[in-house]
Structure 1
């Protein structure tokens, strides 16, 4: 029933919750960290679905009302979190918390009031026997250092976490996050989804209430442009010649309950574009001939087309100021984090930039970041970007390694210590 260590590991993300047992390679559950109900369900009825129930094939996600426990990166609704944890622990992990330790991944710079509320949830609501609180960057470094000898020897890295609520650039030294050097962008997966909702609603049909569907469309269709001016020109071409145009079909609630991409091959046409410069005439001709028999289809009421939205949405992370946000882009955020560290470790940090978080899954993300960084990093420093094998599970896997270490039990705060000393004093043990 449990992993070898008997420790429950929860990476409590704003978008997805990852839960499993220490010592295992992968979590048991990767589920939405929210509860939701369909439209038409009265407020008083108990039709709220939690976690994995939202992933069931027979659930129509159209127009669902969502309630998330985490807002702007922090746990602000413990009632909703309790419902999600209840579902995950009892039904998916089938574990008794009173006989288990918990390793919980908590947001960086969590205010004391929210730390106290979290401790109450862990010890008083669920009755876990002991708790260890970890932060994401140190766990990502731990996991990657266990796989890569060069990182293990260097003992430091720069973890770039493009999460649901925020994007952090966090230097890590000897498994400790250097909090004074962490730099943050107030942009994450949620903001990208909201931007795509606004673009689609303005240009075709109102999808402002379709968070889960637009999330899915974003993940399947968006990509990072390596040449934005060129791609904007291509996106203005007619349907026949436009390499980006594709359609996303909304569920009708009868024959389909989930959204889908209309033509995946067509959606991937951009992969054949040359990396630099314009399409030459030969490429253009062959592309035109290949698709010349296609006429621009009439969009049905339950689908919408995307063109330049596909790369303009991830572009927010690289150049938010172009979209009216008074923030530095990702490359500048990384440079500021490195410059806040001692000069001795700066070149090593540039050589070990680890990408984690769901937004780093956009195609060409790492290549674009390399291009953005190179001109603003000193010439005599190497820049090496390390994408994670699975950037959604990287934090959890680091937690699994830590939870199965021989010293883990001595690092935890026990329920008895919490009851005797209170939350604030116990938390001093987790200063990272």
Structure 2
């Protein structure tokens, strides 16, 4: 029962309609108003602890910041890993930094941190700008030639892949192949796999190919190191010993995957949010660069990752509900970011809003690439808005209209897989943006 006396169906990440997948926030509001935490028993395992879906901001912060909520189901339930027939994928994912607890997490993060400091990211700004400028030159040419352009395919997806490829030392000509494999790995997420039974097989095949690719690259960097992250991984000795091949490869794939889809989703959804709010679009175009508060508000308003999972390592209480050891705990970041108890008028896009959101996580698992992601969004979105203005701007009064938006069936990694903009051939677009994006 909720606080109004009405009964809600059990919460879950599957079984959503297409329109609610695109805009899950009204559903979040209804469930959060009933309770910040929703325990849902597993009908196939009645003796197992229920899954706890957490929607309140304060409760999500507690889950993300308390080490009693960890990343290992095996540790929480006192079991060993069970074979599932997808060993390549399991070997990768179980060694991703985001799924590790201390001390392995501390040791590995101490190495990777060196490439993601604010100083390193600042040094990358001109390279990031050059990558975005080249892509937008091609996007503009495609739009003028064909009258329609897929913003995801032409810019939002390749942009972060090329940036992380530069950090890793991956040849830029390999990005289409790497992007396809990274997308396939993400098909193993629970909601996509539930919708498409073939998705786990594609994900495992992609994991095998990526493992072979990065093993070969790591071997090459051991003999010919360069100024890149793969070279750092194969030469580092945290705690007095080298990283093994599994740790090195898993970290490369994790950075490639996490650094790709999250920024892709944010860029695409930012354009959708701003296109529906011409005054916000215009406000950003009046600034010499997109301010940090606007970047954070766009990430809060519609985060690229809607849910993260933890496991209870001991008996706990959360939001007035007992959480037995071994419970799966799903923190709904998108719901926490729209909690009116934390953010006034949470459904409004306020580009000068202050207040810490949870889109980048908290605690030891705070997003390693947050500084890089913010910089990519600031530079990439600023240049993108200028390029779209040069094509007329996707606004009601402009000549470039949002034509088609397609979301995959996923409430974890959340964003359009296709976003097409159509140019009105009868209209005359304005001049193309200059090199400074204005």
Q: TM-score, normalised by structure 2?
A: 0.27
Structure having the higher helix fraction is 2
TM-score (norm 1): 0.27
Indicate the structure whose relative CO is greater, using CA pairs within 8 Å and at least 6 residues apart.
2
